[in-house]
Amino acid sequence: MQYSVIIPVFNRPQEVDELLESLTQQNYKNFEVIIVDDGSTTPCESILNKYNQKLNLHYFYKPNSGPGQTRNYGAAHASGDYLIILDSDCILPPTYFNEIENELRREDADAFGGPDRAHDSFTPIQKAINYAMVSFFTTGGIRGGKHKLDKFYPRSFNMGIRRSVYNELGGFSKMRFGEDIDFSIRIYQGGYKCRLFPEAWVYHKRRTDFKKFYKQVFNFGIARINLYKIHPTSLKLVHTLPALFTIGTISLLIASIFSPYFLLPLAFYALVVGIDSAIKHKSISIGFYSILAAFIQLLGYGLGFLKAVWKRCIKKEDEFSSFQKNFYK
């Protein structure tokens, strides 16, 4: 099987270097790599020169249009049987393609995806953010693992799809937030078979500070409502939990003005998260950072979700006019 690895890039040359280095270490070699630079002010072309002899590498530079359209640009220049779509901040283990080959031999699939993990080199804050993204106490432990709500929806940081199916579906939409989930929903709507490959995992770098993490999860909350406007049945009760957590937290903080005992539920939750993370990472500092990351994730997502409900569902604004500042220029 031949694969085309598509990597959209925006101002991340160092991360591209690490990803390409991991691709040179793959046991399975039958793949091409397509780098599409989405109008970066710091292009990565100079980084690629040292890999031209090691990889079947193709580089394209285009005006900025966002990640979805950039992936489509790469797919239009691909020749593989399957497209492998990765984020530029991923690192692959040497057996990544072996695991995909094993899964496809075991049971066919039109599309698939794998989970993500934290690398030992991650900073304490990145490890705390990773904990918040995958922990049972924040996401229910469903993100990127073997557990799922109903169906498995591949995400664009680690997604594979037949090139013929990609073309039939028209690739990614012009949505700025949630375009990968929208694409996964359309895969199922088209009647195609989609599977989780649990051993085809990647190391996925998290945001390097809490400010960037807040912006990311805030946009996740916005994306969920944008998806609801296109696919009404995609919104599940579990997707509203961060918003309910946000409303509950604000209510408890206001109530604590009259009695500090109202802070006990928040303190108990923080204690559970901190102890669980500290034990798993064998680090008190990561446990403390995980408390911050958990609250940032739930409150950031919840606030983005509530803002999108107000603008998209109540004020009836369209996606772009509601969140112009959040879109790429």
What type of residue is 328?
Y
Q: Is 11 helix (H, G, I), strand (E, B) or coil?
A: coil
Q: Is 84 helix (H, G, I), strand (E, B) or coil?
A: strand
Query: Do 238 and 169 sit in the same domain of this protein?
Result: no
User: Does residue 125 form part of some domain?
Assistant: no
**Burial (CB count <10 Å: 0-12, 13-18, 19+), residue 193:** middle
Query: Do 198 and 223 sit in the same domain of this protein?
Result: no
Query: Do 186 and 200 sit in the same domain of this protein?
Result: yes
Query: Do 220 and 202 sit in the same domain of this protein?
Result: no
Residue with tokens 């990640």: 67
pLDDT at site 328 = 45
Dihedral sign for Cα 289, 293, 299, 300, please: positive
Dihedral sign for Cα 121, 127, 133, 137, please: positive
pLDDT at site 46 = 84
User: Does residue 22 form part of some domain?
Assistant: yes
**Burial (CB count <10 Å: 0-12, 13-18, 19+), residue 289:** buried
Query: Do 194 and 223 sit in the same domain of this protein?
Result: no
User: Does residue 260 form part of some domain?
Assistant: yes
The CATH number that applies at residue 33 is 3.90.550.10
Alpha carbons 153 and 181: distance in angstroms, whole number: 7
Alpha carbons 189 and 316: distance in angstroms, whole number: 26
pLDDT at site 122 = 86
**Burial (CB count <10 Å: 0-12, 13-18, 19+), residue 251:** exposed
**What are the tokens at 207?**
């945001």
Query: Do 178 and 221 sit in the same domain of this protein?
Result: no
Dihedral sign for Cα 230, 232, 234, 235, please: positive
Query: Do 56 and 75 sit in the same domain of this protein?
Result: yes
What string of pLDDT tens digits covers the 329 residues of the chain? 899 999 999 988 889 999 999 999 999 999 999 999 999 988 888 889 899 999 999 999 999 988 999 999 999 999 999 999 999 999 999 999 999 999 999 999 999 999 888 888 889 999 999 999 888 888 765 554 555 546 788 999 999 999 999 999 999 998 877 899 999 999 999 999 999 999 999 998 877 889 999 999 999 999 999 999 999 999 999 899 999 999 999 999 999 999 999 999 999 999 999 999 999 999 999 999 999 999 999 999 999 999 999 999 998 888 755 555 554 44
**Which of 160, 234, 146, 233 lies closest to 193 in space, CA to CA?**
160
Query: Do 264 and 289 sit in the same domain of this protein?
Result: yes
The total domain count for the chain is: 2
pTM of the model: 0.87
Alpha helices, DSSP H only, in 77-162? Answer: 96-106, 124-134
Structural domain harbouring 191 = 3-114+154-206
Alpha carbons 329 and 317: distance in angstroms, whole number: 19
